[in-house]
Amino acid sequence: MKKALLFIAFLFPLFLFSQRENILIQEYLNSNQAKLGLAPSDIKGWIVESKATSKSTGINNYYIRQRSNEIEIYGAVSNVWIKNNQVIQIGNRFVKNANQKANAVNPQLSVLQALSLVKTKLEINDSFANTILNATNAKTFILSNVPNGRKIKAKLVYQPKGSQLLLAWHFEIHVPSHNHVWNVRINALDGSIIEQKDKIISCHIAKEEEETHNNFFFYKSGYKQNSALTEVLAGSYRVLPYNIESPNHGPRQLIVSPADALASLLDGMIRMVLQVLMKRLPLAIMCMPLKILLIAILVKVPTEVKALLLIFRIAG
């Protein structure tokens, strides 16, 4: 009994702190409703999706999901920054006039009926009779899957579509063969697929198309064929620009002599020696090859020329 009381006493301040920040968010939404372009009903009934805290900045970042008719709106998640007990920033992604855009409140299809249609349309032929394992409420469910398969998450949501919010069942389905993870919304009224996404990306190539498939060959695309000797000596490279994700997303660019002379080990050593010599010897008494080398470095003659001058200096 004492342990239970201590646990409650520990959680109670955390609960009060969370409630206080929820009140701060609601007060901010009320005060900035017109500025955000939202209706009074749009800023009521939201829920906290998640929270993240930055120790370095002291900012609490709340992710809040909009609801209409107590049903979550898919994708309508705004992030709110709170610092020193005040809202300092909001990224508004709420839907304007959500209640007027909602096409229905009650589904015509049950969650199991909707799942059966999804499996048929996505050709998930496991012949398994799914059941409800857990119901958080009338809108959120955990459904059974094939033996050793991940449980299926299901939720009644509104899916934005054009100027409407379509009542839909949202499913996340891990296919037992592990080649698909479906994220899908199906219309809760007529059973049509509104949106589907496969979290697993795969490339299917027919055997007859293997020779012509647009593969990336690094040895062909990564190197320039038959590069000129002067181009190689000058320190030229074919590289992907910093904003190109991979070789499949854009061409390489030719970069010539990108190195900083001051950062070059050879140039740095030569400069250091010359600085010492310049301090101790007048330029007039320095030998001619060394003066030529000094001028070459100062005017940034290409590296191969400086190297040749250095060779002549040693040979002389």
**pTM, full prediction:** 0.61
Residue 279: C-alpha distances to residues 129, 285, 297 (Å): 90, 13, 17
Q: Report the DSSP pairing between strands 236-239 and 193-198.
A: unpaired
φ, ψ for residue 139, nearest 5 deg? -120, -15
* d(C-alpha 72, C-alpha 77), whole Å: 10
Closest CA to 267 of 235, 234, 303: 303
| Contacts for 299-304: CB closer than 8 Å, 24+ residues apart | 300/261, 302/233, 302/234, 302/257, 303/233, 303/234, 303/235, 303/257, 303/264, 303/266, 303/267, 304/233, 304/234
Q: pLDDT tens digits, the chain, 316 residues: what are they?
A: 555 545 444 444 444 446 889 999 999 999 999 999 999 999 999 999 999 999 889 999 999 999 999 999 999 999 999 999 999 999 999 999 999 999 999 999 999 999 999 999 998 888 888 999 999 999 999 999 888 788 999 999 999 999 999 999 999 999 877 788 999 999 999 999 999 999 887 665 555 555 555 555 544 554 555 555 455 445 677 788 777 777 777 787 887 777 665 555 566 666 666 666 666 655 555 555 555 555 555 555 555 555 555 554 544 4
**Within 10 A of 58 (CB to CB), how many other CB atoms are there?**
10
* d(C-alpha 99, C-alpha 66), whole Å: 11
37: its two tokens = 């372009």
* d(C-alpha 236, C-alpha 303), whole Å: 12
* d(C-alpha 143, C-alpha 152), whole Å: 5
